[in-house]
Amino acid sequence: MADKVLVKGNEALGEAAIKAGCRFFFGYPITPQTELSEYLAKRFPKVGGTFLQAESEVAAINMVLGAASAGARVMTSSSSPGISLKSEGISYIAGSDLPAVIVNIQRGGPGLGGIQPSQADYFQATKGGGHGDYRLIVLAPNSVQEIVSLTFDAFDLADLYRMPVMILGDGMLGQMMEPVEFPEHSDRVLPEKTWATDTTQGKRKKNIVNSLYIKPDVLEKIVLDRYARYAEVEAKEARAETYLTDDADIIITAYGATSRISRNAVDALRASGIKAGLLRPITLWPFPKAEYQRLAKTAKAFLTVEMSMGQMIEDVKLSIDCSRPVHFCGRTGGMIPTPGEIEAKAREIAASL
């Protein structure tokens, strides 16, 4: 077992990427993810990696596309406005069936917004952002240790399904210091990258990495094939964690940093006799619908907690087909909901049951 060390979320992510075999990083500075870039700028040269500060997020994500095409494990990171710029490239990466890891340490928006923690990029992460029919696997850690394990998973899932994976964090997680251990990364059995444009060396036919299909029937077929892969991801990779949900009347549901606050609220509610539980999605896409459906059979109401005006709440409602009331408690703009606010909302719901 590896020793525990005290590290910040952003740095843990960088170190985990190195342990996962990532040696290429292309990025552009933006608060609050800069520490991740700076950490890699320091560490990568020591492990034979390439850290390159690009001229923009647009360039960075296209460098990622090139490196991924050449068969490398590659990562980029940014925060909300930068992810908007990367969205073009993310669509091309998805459309070219390339594996890549994209980190979004979210901040308040829209526009330049603010630099405080936010979860207002949920729609952008899970519903597109870029153009066209495509999906990203979206992973939402809620502790520094989980940042490490999900970073490992991100690279494996990307390679396994040949698709981009986003790690969706927020400024709070990035800044948070916790003791973590870095286990040695052991890959799943991953397919060989026979499709990579890593030069033919005269030994095979040429490979083409491309997202252009001029004939509509051909493009449709390509997209359908890709969606068959997405269906497999939905069937196999959806993940969630539950806490005190078995007998719960009210299911509080939150991901990332707000799930930690919500857990405190659950404890306080339980102490005062209200049967609350927590359902925390770990994968935001695929959304762990089955867990919601299972709990909708026993619970009386759901309460979604987000640092946004309410985005994940739509997936909660869809997952349970609106079979139970779904309430919302959120703050936005970089404001963080307090356990007291969540408790108060839950008490209000409990009184109405």
Kind and range of the H or E element at 143?
A: none
Indicate the angle between helix axes 312-319 and 289-296, nearest 10 degrees: 60
CB of 197 vs other proteins, minimal distance in Å: 4
Measured between alpha carbons, how far is 171 from 173 in angstroms, rounded to an integer?
6
Q: Is 59 exposed, middle or buried (0-12, 13-18, 19+ CB in 10 A)?
A: middle
Q: Of 29 and 183, which CB lies nearer to other proteins in the complex structure? A: 29
Q: If residue 152 lies in a helix (H) or strand (E), which one and from where to where?
A: helix 144-161
Q: What is the dihedral of CA 115, 118, 121, 123, to 10 degrees?
A: -160
Q: Please tell me the distance from the alpha carbon of residue 246 to that of residue 189, in angstroms, as a whole number.
A: 35
In this complex, which beta carbon is closest to other proteins, that of residue 92 or of residue 152?
A: 92
Query: Which residues make Cβ contacts (< 8 Å) with residue 248, sequence separation at least 6?
Result: 275, 276, 277, 295, 298, 299
Cα(first)–Cα(last) distance of the chain, in Å? 47
**How near is the Cβ of 48 to other proteins at its closest, in Å?**
12
Query: What dihedral do alpha carbons 20, 78, 171, 151 form, nearest 10°?
Result: -10
C-beta closer to other proteins: residue 130 or 330: 130
Supply the minimum distance, in Å, between the C-beta of residue 15 and other proteins.
21
Nearer to other proteins, 84 or 207 (CB): 207
| Shortest CB 25 distance to other proteins, Å | 10
The distance of closest approach from Cβ of residue 202 to other proteins in the complex, given in angstroms and rounded to an integer, is 4
d(CA 146, CA 23): 21
- What minimum distance in Å lies between the beta carbon of 215 and other proteins? 13
Q: CA 239 to CA 237: how far, in whole Å?
A: 6
Nearer to other proteins, 198 or 232 (CB): 198
Of 207 and 264, the one with the shorter C-beta distance to other proteins is 207
Nearer Cβ to other proteins, position 90 or 166?
90
Report the residue number, 209 or 290, with the smaller CB distance to other proteins.
209
- Shortest Cβ 83–other proteins spacing (Å): 16
Residue 46: CB minimum distance to other proteins, A: 17
Minimum CB distance to other proteins, residue 51 (Å):
10
Site residues (vs other proteins, CB under 8 A) = 24, 26, 50, 52, 54-56, 58-60, 62-72, 74, 88-89, 92, 96, 197-203, 206-212
Closer residue to other proteins, CB minimum distance, 68 or 320 = 68
Q: Report in angstroms the alpha-carbon separations of 132 from 104, 129, 284.
A: 20, 9, 19
User: What letter represents residue 348's amino acid?
Assistant: E
Tell me which H or E stretch contains 92.
helix 80-95
Q: Which of 144, 42, 25 is nearest to 78 (CA)?
A: 25
SS3 category, 262: helix
